[in-house]
Amino acid sequence: MQFHDTDLPGLKLVTLDVRRDARGAFSRLFCQREMAAAGVPHAIAQVNHSQTAQKGSVRGLHFQRPPVTETKLIRCVRGAVWDVAVDLRAGSPTFLQWRAFELSADQPRMVVIPDGFAHGFQTLTDDAELIYFHSEFYAPEHEDGFHAQDATLAIAWPLPMAQQSDRDRQLPSVPTDFKGLTLL
């Protein structure tokens, strides 16, 4: 794995080393030693898999509040998505800035979204699937999110929104007094 820093501290794009032969291909999705060497010291607590049927659908923007903020390692294993990370860290010089990356099953790359970021994505194809590695267990009492079409964030989604869950449609906008997440 090759880790590439972005201009949002802690947010990394990961290029996978793919070995190919007559049978197909092989790549490593996680190595705790390589992650720690790249400045991502967390162990994996949980792995999730999402399937989204319709192109243009949006999931997010989701995050967990302290004390269970989480780092996510995300890989698209079918189709393609436009993956978005938003910096919610209190005092960060990139507070409320977002970056997006196209992830697809055809590209050997992943994204590391650090503690204190919100995450969401829009499907660029029908039948898109993601694998998420989480550094924390899901904690519903600390679950939170912001609306994907929040005017303060002004995320430029590449497609018209086809679908959102009822929960995501009801997420609030970023409050004007929001100072960010204080990481422990």
| Predicted local confidence at residue 49, as pLDDT | 97
Burial zone of 53 (CB within 10 Å; 0-12 exposed, 13-18 middle, 19+ buried) = exposed
Q: What is the pTM of this model?
A: 0.93
- Report the CATH superfamily, name and number, of domain 2-167: Jelly Rolls (2.60.120.10)
| Nearest of 61, 58, 43 to residue 137 by alpha carbon | 43
Three-class SS state of 26 = strand
DSSP string, 125-168: SSSEEEEEEESS---GGGEEE--TT-TTT----SS------HHH
Q: What DSSP state is assigned to residue 23?
A: T
- CA separation for the pair 134, 131 (Å, rounded): 10
Cβ atoms of 96 and 124 within 8 Å: the answer is no
Phi-psi region of 165 (alpha: psi -120 to 50; beta: other; left: phi over 0): beta
Cβ atoms of 153 and 145 within 8 Å: the answer is no
pLDDT tens track of the chain, all 184 residues? 999 999 999 999 999 999 999 999 898 888 889 988 998 878 899 999 999 999 999 999 999 999 999 999 999 999 999 999 999 999 999 999 999 999 999 999 999 999 999 999 999 999 999 999 999 999 999 999 999 999 999 999 999 999 999 999 999 999 999 999 999 7
Residue type at position 115: D
Q: Which residues are catalytic?
A: 62, 132
| Number of helices (H), then strands (E), in the chain | 2, 13
- CA separation for the pair 81, 123 (Å, rounded): 4
**How wide is the angle at C-alpha 49 spanned by C-alphas 74 and 23, nearest 5°?**
80
Domain ranges of the chain: 2-167
- CA separation for the pair 130, 115 (Å, rounded): 19
